[in-house]
Amino acid sequence: MQDFKNKVAVITGAGSGFGREFARYGAAHGMKLVLADVQMDALETTRAEVAALGVEVITRRADVAQAADVEALASAAMDAFGVVHLVFNNAGVATGGLIWENSQRDWEWTLGVNLWGVIHGVRIFTPLMLAAAAKDPDYRGHIVNTASMAGLLTPPASGVYNVSKHAVVALSETMFHDLSLVTKQVHCSVLCPYFVPTGIHLSQRNRPDKLKNEAPPTASQLVAQAMAEKAVTSGKVTAEAVATMTFDAIRNEAFYIFSHPRALGLVQQRLEDLVAIRPPADPFADRPDVRLRLESALNPTQS
């Protein structure tokens, strides 16, 4: 897809981070936008900004963990524009802590948004795109699933998040193969950002009441939250830059999108460990001071 003008893009998580930047990029290139988020004030900020550029835009509140919300989003897009060309399954949340300390509610919330949100987006929008391709030989469609470098690595104290993002990578790779069997008009990509200032460390603000934990956070969860906030907010690659990379990938029909290619060295180490049938390498091998601080925080009586 080389020309984005007048193409229709559906973007979840459009109220902040990558979603807002996808919307900004799309608006700057004359796209028609269908924007969704669970936080309506943030979504309205994005809507007002892109509408000021003169593009057609509709918004819907959507909890992507809920199939009915994603189905309603697709219906709204089709009612408004009659076709969808780009889908960004982008909404995401984060949890942390030692994996056995995560509650069932932690798992349900994180997998609900990060994984089921992508599942719903793929199963609901792909048939619409394939139908459009069958009707029009000039139609081109593309789906971008937002995963993470945590979908290719297994950093400690973020197990629930890691699981959700590994699943998105596996889903996306399988989707790439499946699409290649049935069409040359619809493609997909998986976005694997590393530490980018997106505000994801603040995602607890939108956690549904029924999935909030009754118990206070554990020591490991507090440590993980502090580490995530520091890593995310200190990121040097911007969400705007990642949006540009993503649209470039769509133009080039590239599958993997990496915000930090240098981090692929860590992925290579993990793959070498797998092939050599040895335990995962120490993620703190070149940062022993970080390991010591983490161990001290998690074992205060032994420090």
Rounded to an integer, the average pLDDT of 271-291 is 91
Catalytic residue flag (residue 161): yes
**Residue 218: CB atoms within 10 Å:** 16
| Catalytic entry in 25, 161, 194, 256 | 161
Residue 50 has pLDDT above 70, yes or no: yes
Please give the structure tokens belonging to residue 103.
């509650």
Confidence of residue 293 (pLDDT cuts 50, 70, 90): confident
pLDDT attached to residue 234: 86
The C-alpha angle 20, 26, 32, rounded to 5 degrees, equals 110
Convert the pLDDT of each residue in 130-172 to its tens digit: 999 999 999 999 999 999 999 999 999 999 999 999 999 999 9
From the list 161, 67, 84, 158, the residue with the least C-alpha distance to 119 is: 67
Cα(36)–Cα(43) distance, rounded to whole angstroms?
Answer: 7
- The domain ranges of the chain are 8-263
* Whether the predicted pLDDT of 303 surpasses 60: no
For 269, counting Cβ atoms within 10 Å of its Cβ (0-12 exposed, 13-18 middle, 19+ buried), the class is: middle
Q: What is the DSSP string of 55-118?
A: --EEEEE--TTSHHHHHHHHHHHHHHHS---EEEE-------B-GGG--HHHHHHHHIIIIIHH
Comparing CA positions, the residue from 114, 85, 62, 108 lying closest to residue 213 is 108
Q: Is 56 exposed, middle or buried (0-12, 13-18, 19+ CB in 10 A)?
A: middle
Superfamily of domain 8-263: NAD(P)-binding Rossmann-like Domain (3.40.50.720)
Query: How far is 146 from 20, CA to CA, in rounded Å?
Result: 14
pLDDT score at 201: 86
Share of the chain above pLDDT 70, in %: 99
pLDDT score for 302 = 59
* Strand runs labelled E in 119-163: 141-146
pLDDT of 193-242, one tens digit each? Answer: 999 989 888 888 999 999 999 999 999 999 899 888 988 888 899 999 99
pLDDT higher than threshold 70 for residue 81: yes
Does residue 286 come out as left (phi exceeding 0), alpha (psi in the -120 to 50 range) or beta?
alpha
| Phi, psi (degrees; rounded to nearest 5) at 36 | -135, 145
**In this model, does residue 118 exceed pLDDT 70?**
yes
CA pair distance 123, 126, nearest whole angstrom = 6
Please report the pLDDT score of residue 301 as a whole number: 65
What CA dihedral angle connects 172, 11, 94 and 212, to 10 degrees?
A: -120
3-state SS assignment for residue 148: coil
| More confident call, 203 vs 86 | 86
What single-letter DSSP state applies at residue 150? G
